[in-house]
Structure 1
Amino acid sequence: MAATITCVAPTRSQLGEGAVWDVVDQRLWWVDILGGLIHCYDPVTGSNDSYYFGEPVGCIARRDKGGLVVAAKSGFWFFDPATGARQPIADPESHLPESRFNDGGTDAQGRFWAGTMKDMGDAQPVGTFYRLDPDLSVTAWKGGIWTTNGLAFSPDGKRMYFSDSNPRVRTIWSCDYDTQTGTPGDPQLFFDTRAVPGRPDGGTVDAEGCYWQAGIEGWQLYRLSPKGEVIQTVDVPVEKPTKPMFGGKDLDILFFTSLSLGLTAPETQPEAGSLFAITGLGIKGVAQTRFAG
């Protein structure tokens, strides 16, 4: 069956990102970073509910104890969409007012990872990846990154992927991952996206261990083998896809978010910034773990 791409939530978000599928509530959660909005898409009803967080939101994860864990402009938070209640956890970059959190996600043990980036003024390599453990302690891992992105884990949880989207770098790395301690090993080059039109944005993995990259500015998604080889390219109807995530009852729908700002030809992509779904790929994803804290 040929793959079909459908716009399922025509929000025209400024910066759609952070897609994560929750296997418990069977919903696709995602964000509009600049709009400070958290969206929740139900593929059964087709509804897309929106919750205003009050500041830029980089990434989110569902929480075992209910609600969401959020990595936002002012650090880590708990958020209850039903009531709007916010509870601060930690702000590891309170000394960097021009920075905010960007991409992230959970490992198989329920730890929440998220990276930062400079969001105001001239870009600088001041981004850092942080690990939020279930006991709510925060550990900084790797700094010196322009635009933290692409965080994902292999199906067995023993390999971690991340990228730097900045045009100066546009590279994806992988590293061994100690599942007992949540400690990554030394990063190794996984894929240099100068080989394809799109720079690396958000990423996810499928059940076969392949890494999917949203090729921002390239009108494409890329499926990379565990060896870092492009084995499939999917053309999409928007210039700036931002984050792929498998979902649906059987984890066989590939959703992706997108961006509506700074387009080279906005008239040709009226649905840019919206949420899309790809069916008919014949590929399944990996269940995402809820934050254990």
Structure 2
Amino acid sequence: MPIEITCVAPTRSAIGEGAVWDVGDQRLWWVDIPHGLIHRFDPETGANDTFDFGEPVGCIARREKGGLVIAAKSGFWFFDPENGAREHIGDPEAHLPESRFNDGGTDPQGRFWAGTMKDMGTPEPCGAFYRLDTNLSVSKWKDGFWTTNGLAFSPDGSRMYLSDSNPKVRTIWACDYDGDTGTPGEPELFFDTRQAKGRPDGGTVDADGCYWQAAIEGWCLRRFSPKGEILETVEVPVEKPTKPMFGGKNLDILFFTSLGQSVTQREAQPEAGSLFAITGLGIKGVPQARFKG
């Protein structure tokens, strides 16, 4: 079966991001960060419903108790897109008004992880990764990042991946992960993207334990072995893919979001910022846990 890439939701978002497939409702959830929009795509009907959160949204996850958990400009929130109900959990960076949350997701145990970045003014390495536990306590794990990104967990939950997209860093790391306590080990170099085109953006893993990277500014997605070896490069029709995520009934469709603002060669990528789907890869993903808090 040949590989096919299709634009399935032509939103032309400013910063399409945060793709997460929910096995329970069989929908792909994703966001347009600066516009604060949350999208819900149904591959069976092609419908892409949109909900306005009212402030920049970095990443989201479905919540086991219903609705969503969100990492936004003003911290962690619960949000019910059906009725608009909002509940603020807390803002660990209220003292950094120029920062916001960026990439994140759940670990296999149902904790919610999200990273921050400075979004206004002169860039600085003041980003950090935070863990929202199921009792709603918030813990900072590690700081000193420019643009937190690439968060994903191996299928067995024993490994955590993360990256920094900033041109000064453009590095992917991996570390051991203790699922019982939610504690990562010390990050070790996984791949320095100076060796290949495109900086590291969002990431996910497949059922074989391989890590997928959206190569922003690289016009491609890249698949790595658990040892950090490039196994496959999939060229895509947009310059700035941002977040891959396996979905569909059989978890064999690789969806990816993209960035629409500040792209070059606009005429060559009219759907930049939209949601795309790749079929025919012959590879399956792993289910994403819902937040259990």
Q: How far did 1:275 drift?
A: 0.1
Q: How far did 1:74 drift?
A: 0.1
Residue identity over aligned pairs, in percent, reads 77
| Partner Cα separation in structure 2 for residue 110 and residue 242 of structure 1 | 23
Alignment of 1:67-216 (within 5 A): 67-216=67-216
Q: Deviations over 1:184-231 (max 9, x none)?
A: 001000000011111000000000000000000000000000000000
> For residue 40 of structure 1, what is the aligned residue in structure 2?
40
> For residue 255 of structure 1, what is the aligned residue in structure 2?
255
Structure 1: runs of 5 or more not aligned: none
> For residue 57 of structure 1, what is the aligned residue in structure 2?
57
Q: Deviations over 1:143-175 (max 9, x none)?
A: 000000000000000000000000000000000
Given residue 124 of structure 1, which amino acid in structure 2 is its aligned partner?
E
| Partner Cα separation in structure 2 for residue 264 and residue 12 of structure 1 | 14
Given residue 255 of structure 1, which amino acid in structure 2 is its aligned partner?
F
Secondary structure in 1 matching 2:144: coil
| Partner Cα separation in structure 1 for residue 162 and residue 113 of structure 2 | 11
| Partner Cα separation in structure 1 for residue 256 and residue 228 of structure 2 | 21
Alignment of 1:262-277 (within 5 A): 262-277=262-277
| Partner Cα separation in structure 2 for residue 246 and residue 195 of structure 1 | 26
Q: Runs of 4 or more off by more than 4 Å in structure 1?
A: none
Q: Deviations over 1:66-116 (max 9, x none)?
A: 000000000000000001111000100000000000000000000000000
| Partner Cα separation in structure 1 for residue 35 and residue 277 of structure 2 | 22
| Partner Cα separation in structure 2 for residue 199 and residue 241 of structure 1 | 10
| Partner Cα separation in structure 1 for residue 28 and residue 79 of structure 2 | 16
| Partner Cα separation in structure 1 for residue 108 and residue 95 of structure 2 | 31
Secondary structure in 2 matching 1:88: strand
Two-structure CA RMSD over aligned residues (Å): 0.3
Q: How far did 1:252 drift?
A: 0.1
Structure 2: runs of 5 or more not aligned: none
| Partner Cα separation in structure 1 for residue 37 and residue 194 of structure 2 | 32
Given residue 247 of structure 2, which amino acid in structure 1 is its aligned partner?
G
Q: Deviations over 1:10-56 (max 9, x none)?
A: 00000000000000000000000011000000000000000000000
| Partner Cα separation in structure 2 for residue 264 and residue 13 of structure 1 | 15
Q: Deviations over 1:241-280 (max 9, x none)?
A: 0000000000000000000111111111000000000000
Given residue 290 of structure 1, which amino acid in structure 2 is its aligned partner?
R
> For residue 10 of structure 1, what is the aligned residue in structure 2?
10
| Partner Cα separation in structure 1 for residue 267 and residue 121 of structure 2 | 29
> For residue 26 of structure 2, what is the aligned residue in structure 1?
26
TM-score, normalised with respect to structure 1: 1.00
Q: How far did 1:283 drift?
A: 0.0
| Partner Cα separation in structure 2 for residue 101 and residue 148 of structure 1 | 9
Secondary structure in 2 matching 1:25: coil
| Partner Cα separation in structure 2 for residue 81 and residue 196 of structure 1 | 39
Q: How many residues are aligned here?
A: 293
Secondary structure in 2 matching 1:267: helix
Given residue 14 of structure 1, which amino acid in structure 2 is its aligned partner?
A
TM-score, normalised with respect to structure 2: 1.00
| Partner Cα separation in structure 2 for residue 267 and residue 15 of structure 1 | 18
Q: How far did 1:128 drift?
A: 0.3
Q: Deviations over 1:114-150 (max 9, x none)?
A: 0000000110000000000000000000100000000
Q: How far did 1:177 drift?
A: 0.2
Given residue 86 of structure 2, which amino acid in structure 1 is its aligned partner?
R
| Partner Cα separation in structure 2 for residue 272 and residue 86 of structure 1 | 31
